[in-house]
């Protein structure tokens, strides 16, 4: 899995360099932050939360998102940025007697586009891996490479290089677990807040 991890990172960096080297990029891009929302975990076609509720148990759940992007832009004085992203979600499910947390991760290339200076749209896809934790103890993890992607829309507050993103994001990942040999599909839709550093002056001047 480490080989696939570093291969995906290398592909992300190559993607960024391939798009930025032929043109005049304006400078570095970076953002980092977290989000909360509603998560879904499906194991071999069975929705875990719905399954527990069907058995008559009580369920409390929460989903969180944490990640960052790094890249370059705007590209050739256009409102496009190319980035590499690390992103992860944790879907925590607490039942009557025990709790589980289903973690899914993404690393790969992405793009950012500003249709207007106030609005940022983003999308990323790439290699994914997953872990299942029961009461803080790892009980299963993914075997081999999975696939994940996300899309987002945010309001970008701040006219200088420093800003704040407030928006909505959807995340989806698919992995096969090593021990149980089941397919795990995780998704989350939620709101997020991120600090961002970007070269935005060219966007404001257009």
Domain with residue 23: its CATH number is 2.40.160.20
Whether 120 and 114 have beta carbons less than 8 Å apart is answered as yes
Burial of 116 (0-12, 13-18, 19+ CB in 10 A): exposed
Q: How many domains, in total, are found in the chain?
A: 1
Q: How far apart are CA 172 and CA 188, in angstroms?
A: 7
Burial of residue 60 (CB within 10 Å: 0-12, 13-18, 19+) is: exposed
Q: What residues make up the domain containing 6?
A: 2-205
pLDDT (tens digit, 9 = 90+) per residue, 122-174?
999 999 999 999 988 999 999 878 999 999 999 999 878 999 999 999 999 99
Query: Would you say 88 and 104 are in contact if contact means Cβ atoms under 8 Å apart?
Result: yes
Q: Write the pLDDT tens digit of every residue in 114-124.
A: 999 999 999 99
Burial class of 11 by CB neighbour count within 10 A (0 to 12, 13 to 18, 19+): middle
- Can you read off the two tokens belonging to residue 20? 């930025």
Distance from C-alpha of 6 to C-alpha of 28, rounded to nearest angstrom: 22
Total-model pTM: 0.84
């Amino acid at each position: 899995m480490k080989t696939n991890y570093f291969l995906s990172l290398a592909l992300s960096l190559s993607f960024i360099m391939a798009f930025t080297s032929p043109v005049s990029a304006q400078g570095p891009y970076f953002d980092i932050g977290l989000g909360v929302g509603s998560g879904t975990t499906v194991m071999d076609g069975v929705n875990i939360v719905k399954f527990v509720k069907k058995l008559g148990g009580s369920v409390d759940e929460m989903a969180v998102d944490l990640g960052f992007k790094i890249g370059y832009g705007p590209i050739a004085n256009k409102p496009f940025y190319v980035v590499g992203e690390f992103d992860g979600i944790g879907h925590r499910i607490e039942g009557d007697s025990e709790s589980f947390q289903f973690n899914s991760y993404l690393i790969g290339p992405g793009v950012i586009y500003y249709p207007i200076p106030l609005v940022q749209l983003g999308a990323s896809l790439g290699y994914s891996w997953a872990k299942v934790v029961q009461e803080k103890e790892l009980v299963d993890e993914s075997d081999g490479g999975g696939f994940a992607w996300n899309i987002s829309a945010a309001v970008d507050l701040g006219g200088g290089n420093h800003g704040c993103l407030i928006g909505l994001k959807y995340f989806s990942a698919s992995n096969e677990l090593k021990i149980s040999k089941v397919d795990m599909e995780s998704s989350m839709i939620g709101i997020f807040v991120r600090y961002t550093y970007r070269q935005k002056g060219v966007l404001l001047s257009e």
